[in-house]
């Protein structure tokens, strides 16, 4: 499982990059969902986010899931290409699979990479 | 890989593909009245309906029916769906001319038998559930949930209590609960389960305040566990002014043993197409009556069936329609699924009687616990205590890349319908197994033997599972391709290969 050290992680399996303001779902989340077949971003550029607001809806062959913002802030960009290529979330969740970017992002209850890895390991048993 | 559409096996063409101009299955006699001329504006040049002889139509649908698997073919342990055997006497009763050839707009004096049946079914469901009043209108389970949420909303509104916007839903609830509550604009708050599969009381208490609209609780839940603190859960929600909705989908575990109305539930829907042997799925239709406690009875949908004039020794009562005082209105045109739902469920309840209904639940629970006992040493069961009518195992093994889906598909090679998989979401690689009361020990043993053998194959010949099923009409479907590339049209058989 890939867990980049420069990112912050939410309990609900989203990542947030404090440097760029980008966020998306983690490698653990995509592997649990399996093949993702549908993505819809639920927010638009200019929207104000609160921690825990649903930013996207994702469906795989196994399940559907809401993706929640791990931070508050203003939406500055949306990765509109994802809806045509939902499989990007499986192949490259941390780079091409970014969902939205925010500015002035204040993180809620997030973990560093080491804590998140431990959290994931606990859940697989 | 045995891909459906490019396989060498012949795919049954659609009825349109089988059409040939000029063929037909009926010939009309000459009219015995003068032919009327239709207005030009109503005529059309073409009418693209298939043209076939009766025998071609029959053979087409007979072939299609053989692709199917139903509870009449074999074991169907689809968790939380209660795919019990549907007694054939139900088919006789719902086809009785008095039920079949009536119209919902007939004057009530001409359909007293139908109304008497509906009234009696309302009364029986009240007795079974411990509720004060029942509506038979909702079309199926989720429609019953939506009806229930509207009743809850009308109750809060009638008290001027309009700041309640949050619906609490445990993570072990049925998946339709959040959708039904969401449709009324409520905010959904998920409550986690504790390590025994009960609602986490601490998490529940943290959420409870005067913004709580209610709780939607499936009990037994989708883990097949009876919540050990159900009365405390209900008390906590009531104490903050919320109402408790029971999802009755798993009522098959409780008949004659516990009445939800007695332990504090405010309202609940029944799934006649699960618990009361109305066919479930394509054969339906479903039926999702809602029962409510006294304080909600005034809000039920209209109309209910009631007694308009009491009878005596000489005269039967006059049944008709009544409207509850603060009714939320109609939830469905006419009176719900009468023939397909109400008549079959009535027949089933009448056939069993109170003791028979209790037997149903006891055998359903016994069968599930028997399978659990046979499988728990082979499959990891994360919430492992006495289960109710179903249980959830993990479809994965240490050091193996075999998944629940592979196990489910391999079961088809052993001629069993797979259990529900990947639900509930709180169990990894979930296999949710509900045998129902209608299966005998031989069937349960054959199913357990197959699952134990599959667990062995997972270790020794995993590809058997990855490529399963191999003995069915079609092999493993490409679910990802089907979901990502939506193709909503049909082509002639000879064009399939070229288009795919």
Spatial separation of the C-alpha atoms in residues B435 and B375, rounded to whole Å: 13
What are the residues facing B244 on neighbouring strands?
B215
Provide the mean pLDDT of chain B. 93
What are the residues facing A14 on neighbouring strands?
A25
- Report DSSP state, residue B108: G
DSSP string, B373-394: HHHTTTS--SS-S--SS-EEEE
The predicted model scores a pTM of: 0.88
pLDDT at B453 over 80: yes
In this structure, is residue A79 part of a structural domain? Answer: yes
Residue B491 has a pLDDT of 57
Mean pLDDT of B375-404: 96
Q: In CATH, what number is assigned to the domain containing residue A31? A: 2.40.50.100
> Helix or strand or coil: residue B307?
strand
- State pLDDT tens for residues B170-208: 999 998 999 999 999 999 999 999 999 999 999 999 999
Reported ipTM: the value is 0.75
- Select from B117, B86, B125, B85 the least CA-distant residue to B99: B117
Closest residue in B to A32 (Cα–Cα):
B428
Least-confidence region, from B121-135, B306-320, B422-436, B475-489? B475-489
Contacts of B422 in chain A (CB under 8 A): 62-63
- Select from B142, B185, B191 the least CA-distant residue to B164: B185
The stretches of B25-159 forming alpha helices (DSSP H) are: 54-67, 89-93, 97-100, 112-129, 141-158
In this structure, is residue A95 part of a structural domain? Answer: yes
Across the interface, whether the CB atoms of A35 and B480 are under 8 A apart is answered yes
Across the interface, whether the CB atoms of B479 and A61 are under 8 A apart is answered yes
pLDDT at B424 over 60: yes
Contacts of B405 in chain A (CB under 8 A): 62
pLDDT at B143 over 60: yes
In this structure, is residue A121 part of a structural domain? Answer: no
Across the interface, whether the CB atoms of A59 and B484 are under 8 A apart is answered no
Residues 6+ apart with CB under 8 A from B178: B167, B169, B188, B190
- Segments making up each domain of chain B, as ranges: 90-352, 356-483
Mean pLDDT of B26-39: 89
Residue B490 has a pLDDT of 60
Mutation test of the interface with chain B: which of A11, A37, A59, choosing the one with the most B Cβ atoms within 10 A?
Answer: A37
Spatial separation of the C-alpha atoms in residues B216 and B268, rounded to whole Å: 9
pLDDT-derived band at A113, boundaries 50, 70, 90 = very high
Task: Please tell me which residue, B433 or B479, carries the higher pLDDT value.
Answer: B433
- Select from B133, B130, B141 the least CA-distant residue to B175: B141
DSSP string, B415-438: T-PPPEES-STTSTTEEEE---TT
B325 vs chain A: nearest CA distance in angstroms?
Answer: 40
In this structure, is residue A18 part of a structural domain? Answer: yes
In this structure, is residue A114 part of a structural domain? Answer: no
Class assignment of domain B356-483? Answer: alpha beta
- State pLDDT tens for residues B98-138: 999 999 999 999 999 999 999 999 999 999 999 999 999 99
Choose from A78-87, B17-26, B65-74 the range with maximum mean pLDDT: A78-87
- State pLDDT tens for residues B79-97: 999 999 999 999 999 999 9
- State pLDDT tens for residues A86-95: 999 999 999 9
Residue B374 burial (C-beta neighbours within 10 Å; 0-12, 13-18, 19+): middle
Class assignment of domain B90-352? Answer: alpha beta
Cα angle A18, A19, A20; round to 5: 100
Q: How many domains does chain A have?
A: 1
Residue B496 has a pLDDT of 55
- Select from B261, B282, B255, B444 the least CA-distant residue to B360: B255
Spatial separation of the C-alpha atoms in residues B199 and B193, rounded to whole Å: 5
- Residues in B whose CB is inside 8 Å of some CB of A read 405, 422-423, 425, 428, 479-480, 483-484
Closest residue in A to B428 (Cα–Cα):
A124
């Amino acid at each position: 499982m890939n867990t980049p050290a420069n990112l912050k992680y939410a309990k609900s399996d989203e990542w947030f990059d404090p440097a760029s303001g980008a966020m998306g779902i983690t490698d653990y989340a995509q592997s649990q969902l399996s093949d993702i077949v549908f993505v819809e971003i639920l927010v638009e550029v200019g929207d104000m986010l609160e921690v825990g607001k649903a930013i996207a809806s994702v469906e795989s062959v196994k399940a559907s899931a809401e993706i929640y913002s791990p931070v508050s802030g203003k939406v500055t960009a949306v990765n509109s290409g994802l809806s045509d290529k939902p499989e990007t979330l499986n192949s490259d969740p941390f780079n091409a699979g970014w969902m939205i970017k925010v500015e002035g992002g204040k993180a809620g209850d997030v973990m560093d990479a080491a804590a998140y890895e431990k959290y994931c390991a606990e859940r697989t048993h | 890989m045995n891909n459906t559409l490019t396989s060498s096996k012949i795919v049954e063409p659609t009825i349109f593909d089988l059409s040939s101009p000029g063929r037909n299955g009926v010939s009309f006699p000459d009219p015995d009245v003068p032919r009327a001329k239709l207005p030009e504006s109503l005529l059309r040049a073409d009418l693209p309906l298939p043209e076939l002889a009766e025998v071609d139509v029959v053979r087409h649908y007979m072939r299609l029916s053989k692709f199917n698997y139903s509870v009449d073919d074999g074991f169907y342990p689809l968790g939380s769906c209660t795919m019990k055997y549907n007694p054939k006497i139900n088919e006789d009763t719902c086809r009785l001319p008095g039920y079949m050839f009536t119209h919902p707009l007939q004057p009530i004096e001409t359909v007293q038998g139908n109304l008497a049946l509906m009234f009696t079914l309302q009364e029986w469901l009240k007795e079974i559930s411990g509720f004060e009043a029942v509506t038979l209108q909702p079309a199926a389970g989720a429609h019953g949930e939506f009806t229930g949420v509207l009743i809850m909303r009308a109750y809060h509104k009638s008290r001027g209590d309009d700041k309640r916007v949050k619906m609490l839903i445990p993570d072990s609830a049925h998946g339709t609960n959040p959708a039904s509550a969401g449709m009324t604009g409520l905010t959904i708050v998920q409550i986690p389960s504790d390590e025994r599969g009960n609602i986490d009381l601490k998490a529940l208490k943290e959420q409870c305040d005067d913004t709580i609209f209610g709780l939607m609780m499936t009990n037994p839940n989708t883990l097949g566990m009876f919540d050990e603190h159900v009365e405390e859960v209900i008390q906590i929600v009531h104490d903050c002014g919320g109402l408790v909705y029971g999802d009755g989908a798993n009522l098959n575990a409780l008949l004659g043993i516990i009445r939800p109305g007695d332990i504090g539930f405010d309202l609940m829907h029944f799934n006649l197409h699960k618990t009361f042997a109305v066919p479930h799925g394509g054969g339906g239709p479903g039926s999702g009556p809602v029962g409510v406690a006294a304080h909600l009875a005034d809000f039920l949908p209209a109309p209910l069936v009631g007694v308009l004039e009491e009878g005596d020794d000489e005269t039967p009562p006059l049944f008709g329609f009544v409207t509850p005082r603060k009714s939320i209105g109609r939830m469905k045109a006419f009176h719900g699924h009468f023939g397909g739902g109400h008549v079959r469920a009535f027949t089933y309840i009448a056939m069993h009687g109170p003791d028979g209904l209790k037997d149903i639940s006891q055998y359903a629970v016994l069968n599930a616990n028997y399978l659990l006992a046979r499988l728990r040493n082979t499959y990891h069961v994360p919430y492992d205590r006495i289960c109710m009518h179903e249980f959830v195992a993990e479809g994965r093994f240490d050091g193996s890349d075999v998944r629940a889906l592979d196990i489910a598909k391999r079961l088809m090679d052993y001629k069993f319908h797979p259990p529900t998989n990947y639900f509930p979401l709180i169990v990894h690689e979930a296999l949710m197994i509900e045998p129902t009361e209608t299966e005998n020990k031989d069937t349960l043993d054959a199913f357990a033997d197959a699952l134990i053998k599959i667990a062995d194959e997972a270790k020794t010949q995993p590809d058997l599972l990855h490529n399963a099923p191999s003995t069915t009409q079609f092999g493993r479907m490409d679910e990802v391709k089907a979901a990502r590339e939506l193709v909503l049209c049909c082509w002639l058989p000879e064009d399939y290969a070229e288009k795919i």
